[in-house]
Structure 1
Amino acid sequence: MRKLCFNPKTPSFALARTSPSSPLSLTSSPTPLRLSFSEPSSFEEDSFLDEAEALIMKWNLDTSAYAKVTSLFYQDKTEAKHYINCVNQLQKTMHSLLSQNPSSEKLILAHNLMQIAMKKLKKEFYQILSMNRAHLDPESVSARSCRTSANSSSSDYEDDFAAEDDDIRAASDSISEVEQVSSGAMADLKLIADCMVSSGYAKECVSVYTIIRKSIIDEGVYRLGVEKLSSSRANKMEWEVLDLKIKSWLEAIRISVRTLFNGERILCDHVFSYSDSVRESCFAEISRDGASLLFGFPELIAKTKKSSPEKLFRVLDMHAVVSELFPEIESIFSSDYTSAVRAQVLASHQRLTETAQNLLMEFESAIQKDSSKSAVNAGGVHSLTIQTMNYISVLADYVNVLTDIFPSSDWLQSPKKSSLPEFYLYSPESDYSASTPALTVRFAWLILVLLCKLDGKAKHCKDVSLSYLFLANNLWYVVARVRRSNLQYVLGDDWITKHEAKAKRFVANYEKVAWGEVVSSLPENPATAEARAVFENFNLRFEEAYRKQNSFVVADRELRDEIKGSIARSIVPRYREWYNALLATVGSVRNLTVTEYVTFTPEDIENYLANLFFFGTSPSAVSSLSLTSSPLRRWS
């Protein structure tokens, strides 16, 4: 790049001395910063002005074609440093001349030379920034550098430059060419900025820097997928489209804070370390639009009227990442100049908090207002149970965020129990000690609201056994979801144990109601004289119970096996006892008289009960079974 863009080195400035092509008039200039200097003699002033004039006029953009096409800093670094030193000394000389004679010709000459030099340095500054965009990208800078101290002494800038130059040469064997170029460019920029700011030309320097670096930040934010979005446009978007934009933002904010803005902060701190105010105002200017777009996005999303169930989790995701990055954001945007950025971040954070609170209240209200009747007729797991537990299970992954959002919110305080039936209000599961974590109480409360709703649905079942099976199915599902998610840590083992026991009580009640008459149809002491009546009564009760119960659903395999096993243990041994007693009396169940009332062998009963709740997910007709273990007749 250097060979393509710049000419070969030229002779020393002492041999290329020229004079101004035309007289220059004195105009007002920015008030320079105070510098301590010793009082030079008139001879020394004349000698210095001669040499300064030669060097500065050599690089005069208005009179030298050579200066227009050649970069001072790329051409000869040694001469570049001489040039900077010359300008710094020229500033000191101007102070001296001003104190001696404000209207002297030498002061006019010095002032004109200063303006020429500043014009050249401004162009050099621009060239270094524009030609090193790739080498000064925020990722490289943030990865390689640490933030320069804001209290750097202005008197050390020349020493810093020299030390940096030496460090670069010493480390050239171990760092990449890109890093060398980046370090060199940063050192050059700092040298020029120090000179221009100390000479009173900070505005000219900052204007160039702002044009180049602001475009890099704005372009970086755009490339990360964050675009300007109006509230009306966001409200018109489908949730799926808006969700993709939120996902892009969640990825973009970490990169933007830790790489883009952090890199620019490091570069700006380094280049303008001479002046705190210049450094902070410059960074504020280049980062303002990009930061506003990035940090204003969460507030925009929070304000949208989208009511998708997934919105809460996206809100929590955004809240979590803003909370995580806030210390870094606060460090990067720490000055009064960037207070608007911090205010925007806090506003978005607060809006996300309020939105999360409202969405959670809406979620609880939605459970209580549910009026769907699906799955009740078959006794299976209700859609409300599945949806609610899916929601709460995912919500349990956000415990840390919820604790941050609701440190003292009503959502974490004692629930308003008046909305639940008295049965639930005074159940053991609703009692917690004062030391119980607020989140545990609140998650338990949400599940209690669900169970209350399910209890209300169960009461509408015409069959009592079905209502108990429905409650057992749903509570078993709830406990299983708790075990398989972070809810087990939020609610604790005691909660799981209590509700598992409650589910088993529902199962016991179901068995008692559904199969109680079947069991009671078999007296404990077999009596041959009563055999016909007992078997006929059993056949009737068993057929009725089986036809009804086999149309019900038990989706969970473990629960299904447990229920079938429990029923079998209640019926089969007692039936076998009666069957064997009859067999001992008549000698064979093939006896024509016996076949009139003995329909099943004990193996038949076992097989039918093994196929109870066939496939466990949908009702099935008894006629669909194909059992061949007994030669006796089957019902159709």
Structure 2
Amino acid sequence: MAENGEEKWVAVARHIAKTLGRNDTMADDILQIFSNFDGRFSREKLSEKVGEEDPRACAALEQTIKALERQISQYVTADHPIWVDSADSSAFLDAIDELISTIRDWTPMAGDKIVGACLVRAEDLMQQAMFRVEDEFRLLMERGGESLELSRAYGNGGESAGNLSFDSDDEEEEEAVGGVGIGNGEDHDRIPTARPITDYDIVIDALPSGTINDLHEIAKRMVVARFGKECSHVYSSCRREFLEESFSRLRLQKLSNEEVQKMAWQDLEDEIERWIKAANVALRILFPSERRLCDRVFFGFSSAADLSFMEVCRGSTIRLLNFADAVAIGSRSPERLFKILDVFETLRDLMPEFESVFSDQYCLFLRNEAITIWKRLGEAIRGIFMELENLINRDPPKGPVPGGGLHPITRYVMNYLRAACRSRQTLEQIFEENAGPLPSKDYPGGKLDDGGSPSSLFVQMVWIMELLETNLEAKSKVYKDPALCSVFMMNNGRYIVHKVKDSELGSLLGEEWIRKHTAKVRQHQANYQRSSWNKVVGVLKLDNASLGPHVAAKLKEKLKLFNQYFEEVYKTQSTLVIFDDQMREDLRNLVNQLLLPAYRTFIGRLQSFPEIGRSLDKHIKYGPEDIEARINDLFRRSGGSSGGRK
């Protein structure tokens, strides 16, 4: 074999001289260089004309091909897996290495008829060998998948989890955590996946280390032999099964955009929860583990590793992104905001994983698609706030709320905005990224950015609050009684301020906004007092100049008129609803302070007339204590619950 190898090298040297030499003199010079470089290339051996091939070298090539055919054929036709025996696998790989080397060395002389024919036979033999190692590669992937090891990446090695099981019988546990899982090797027909987990800082070693080394040795030969795409195809098809089964264990359905659009909202909420868990598991555990496995199997061949990884993860990634996209292009109904925010935040938080895991050229389109859908989710959230504005504008004044109490739209909008502001940072990010020109208005107390302008989220919230106030003012017009109108605005205004003050919404709108709207509530209280009690108190005013000569008679007439006005107002006011305990107490105190001193003064004046004082009990229907008791009985709680602040 050594002699044949030397003859082959001599033939190669002649071929190089023939190819590079433009004339006989130049060719002789090249041959002289070879002769000086290595004694095997003696001038005698190279003395034949450069244009003539050495028949002995061609015979050596034929002999080499025949020998390789005998060696490789016994493995190609074997009826048992080759890699169960390390000696067989090593010998097979050695034969493939020699075949690769032979083809590479003799390809420059393929123009020679005899050499060309030998190379055709060699290429055919190579194809047969590649078909067989492809099958062996697949078998190794499938057998290796039966043994799955889960290890924690805590710097100094992993933590074994070999005794963990696939499934959890506890449905509540599956609801509470996302998961990947491991197989116990007892069911050879199933692709192993992972059970529910609570920690994403883990790495799945989906194949044993020895199997990975064997796969690498095969992949290396297939790539060098220009069968890299075939190797990638086999690899990716096997690993895709693992990912698909893992997704099924996470209970994430395969849904088209149309199916997502038609889902009942409750069902879609549940599916979003499953999607969030699946996305975190995929981007933080499954895909990085697949990246690691690809890099080990195709070590030294980055292009093949990148292509294989893309083929493995493309389908699962597109499945995740398509669902997020279907959510983004769905209904803009306001109640969907919070789940869409969850999807947006999940995708946003996973962007570093998209950047790191899908960093190569083959995965660029997946990374770009994730960014596009993430931005589309932001557009959907802005669209939901526009729909909220439309909802407020479209809510028409209907019948009056009994007792001037809280209007349902006030509760809805304020609780909605409070809940939304729990995701304030996310909303600020969304609105800042697509901020339009701000209105030329002064927004005191608003959160300012570095340029001194109010934040886009602040402007959005102020605008919604203004729409709500305008809507409530229109609704207050349905009350014919001015006092009821004032109580309605007072109730709803107090509720708005209360909901703003003790939430993130108050931090966003600022103290100045709160002071301004608290002053509005006080103004409504003043309007209530003026429209309800000023007329009653006015009757009790004493002006001797206006009373004239018949003072006693006129005082008795005033007392009669007071009783009439008081009873009318009391009858009306006793049906009013004040949702806030403190405001109810403040209003009672206000009326008491306004009415009782004036009434006591009036009664005292009556007692100063002897003709009245002797029969005062006949004229006074209500004593001061009776007036105070009735005032303290005014106003009802909203919905019968203390405070009514729901």
Per the normalisation by structure 1, the TM-score is 0.71
Which one of 455, 468, 472 corresponds to residue 450 of structure 1?
468
User: In the superposition, relative to structure 1, how do residues 191 and 429 fare at CA in structure 2: closer, same or farther (>3 Å)?
Assistant: closer
Structure 2 letter corresponding to 1:373: K
Contact 2:334-2:385 at 8 Å conserved across structures: no
Deviates more, 1:448-457 or 1:322-331: 322-331
Aligned match of 2:590 in 545, 566, 569?
Answer: 566
Structure 1 residue aligned with 2:422, among 397, 400, 405? 397
Matching residue of 1:318: 343
Q: Within 5 Å, which residues of 2 pair with 1:517-532?
A: 517-523=535-541, 529=552, 532=556
Are residues 1:476 and 2:494 paired? yes
AA aligned opposite 1:124: E
Q: Distance in 2 between the 1:501 and 1:79 partners?
A: 91
Write the distance in 2 (CA, Å) between the matches of 1:460 and 1:428: 32
Q: Which residue among 173, 189, 196 is the counterpart of 2:222?
A: 196
- Tell whether the 8 Å contact from 2:435 to 2:456 is kept in structure 1 after alignment: no
Q: Kindly report which structure 2 residues correspond to 1:128-207, keeping only aligned pairs within 5 A, or say none.
A: 128-133=140-145, 135=147, 182-207=208-233
DSSP 3-state at the match of 2:454:
coil
| Residue identity in the other structure for 1:384 | I
The unaligned stretches of length 5 or more in structure 2 are 1-37, 42-56, 158-201, 642-646
Question: Post-superposition shift, 1:471?
Answer: 0.9
Residue of structure 1 in register with 2:484 after alignment: 466
Q: 2:384 aligns with which of 329, 348, 359?
A: 359
What SS is found at the alignment partner of 1:407?
helix
TM-superposed deviation, 1:394: 2.4
Query: 1:521-571 CA deviation, whole Å, 9 max, x = no partner?
Result: 333799995764454333222211111111111112222122122222222
Cross-structure match for 1:156: none
Which residue in the other structure is 1:18 paired with? none
1:329 aligns with 2:354: yes
Q: Which has the higher contact order (CA 8 A, sep 6+)?
A: 1
Q: Deviations over 1:351-388 (max 9, x none)?
A: 33333333322221221222043554521111121122
Contact 1:97 1:106 in 2 (8 A): no
User: Counterpart in 2 of 1:31?
Assistant: none
Give runs of aligned pairs for residues 535-574 of structure 1, distance below 5 A.
535-574=559-598
Superposed, which structure 2 residues align to 1:168-247 within 5 Å? 182-247=208-273
Cα gap change, 1:184 to 1:538, in 2 (>3 Å): farther
Per the alignment, residue 277 of structure 1 pairs with 303
Counterpart residue number, 2:100: 91
1:52·1:86 contact (CA, 8 Å) conserved in 2? yes
The reply to whether residue 498 of structure 1 matches residue 516 of structure 2 is yes
**CA 1:369–1:203 in 2, change beyond 3 Å: closer, same or farther?**
closer
Per-residue CA deviation, residues 170-194 of structure 1 (Å, 9 max, x unaligned), is xxxxxx9x96963333333223322
Q: Distance in 2 between matches of 1:411 and 1:377?
A: 41
Query: Kindly tell me: are residues 70 and 586 of structure 1, through their superposed partners in 2, closer, same or farther at Cα, counting changes over 3 Å?
Result: farther
Q: 1:544 to 1:253 in 2, by over 3 A?
A: same
The 10-residue stretch of structure 1 (217-226 or 603-612) with the greater mean CA deviation from structure 2: 217-226
Secondary structure in 1 matching 2:479: coil
Is residue 554–residue 617 contact of structure 1 (8 Å, CA) maintained in 2? no
- Tell whether the 8 Å contact from 1:375 to 1:381 is kept in structure 2 after alignment: no
AA paired with 1:546? Y
The one-character-per-residue Cα deviations of 1:190-237 (angstroms, maximum 9, x if unpaired) are 233223222333233222212211222233334434434344434433
Q: Structure 1's 281 and 482: CA in aligned 2 closer, same or farther, altered over 3 A?
A: same
The residue identity in structure 1 corresponding to 2:615 is T
More displaced stretch, 113-122 vs 263-272: 113-122
Instruction: Pick from 600, 604, 608 the counterpart of residue 630 of structure 2.
Output: 608
Identify if the C-alpha distance between structure 1 residues 201 and 578 changes in structure 2 by more than 3 Å, giving closer, same or farther: same
Q: Which amino acid aligns with 2:77?
A: D
Q: Distance in 1 between matches of 2:479 and 2:633?
A: 24
Q: 1:495 deviation in Å?
A: 1.1
1:254 alignment partner, one of 276, 280, 288: 280
Distance in 2 (CA, whole Å) between partners of 1:125 and 1:508 is 86
CA–CA separation in structure 2 for the residues paired with 1:181 and 1:300: 35
Measured in 1, the distance between the counterparts of 2:593 and 2:576 equals 20
Give the counterpart letter for 2:622 in structure 1: F
Structure 1 residue 516, shift from structure 2 partner: 1.4
Following the alignment from structure 1 to structure 2, what is the Cα–Cα distance between the partners of residues 481 and 255? 38
Specify the alignment match of 2:327 in structure 1.
301
Residues 281, 337 of structure 1: 8 Å contact kept: yes
1:127 maps onto 2:139 in alignment: yes
- Does the Cα contact within 8 Å between 2:232 and 2:307 map onto a contact in 1? no
Structure 1: how far apart are the matches of 2:385 and 2:561? 55
Residue identity in the other structure for 1:569: Q
Alignment deviations for residues 85-108 of structure 1 (CA, whole Å, 9 cap, x no partner) = 664455335434556898579978
C-alpha offsets along residues 551-607 of structure 1, whole Å, 9 cap, x if unaligned? 1111122221221222222223443455567679889x9x98323222223332232
Deviation of 1:393 after TM superposition, in Å, equals 2.0
Q: SS of 1:331's equivalent? A: helix
User: 3-state SS of the aligned residue for 1:71?
Assistant: helix
State how many pairs are aligned.
532
Q: What per-residue deviation string (whole Å, max 9, x for no partner) do you get for residues 467-515 of structure 1?
A: 1111111111111111232201211122112211221221122122211
Distance 1:543 1:593 in 2: 22
Summarize deviations over 1:420-459 as a string: whole Å, max 9, x none: xxxxx99989999953223212211210111112112223
Identity value in percent: 29
The alpha-carbon distance between structure 1 residues 398 and 218, as it changes in their structure 2 partners (threshold 3 A), is same
Task: Pick one of 527, 530, 537 that aligns with 1:509.
Answer: 527
Residue type of the partner of 2:599? Answer: Y
The equivalent residue for 2:77 is 62
Aligned counterparts of 2:417 and 2:395: Cα–Cα separation in 1:
16
3-state SS of paired residue (2:208): helix
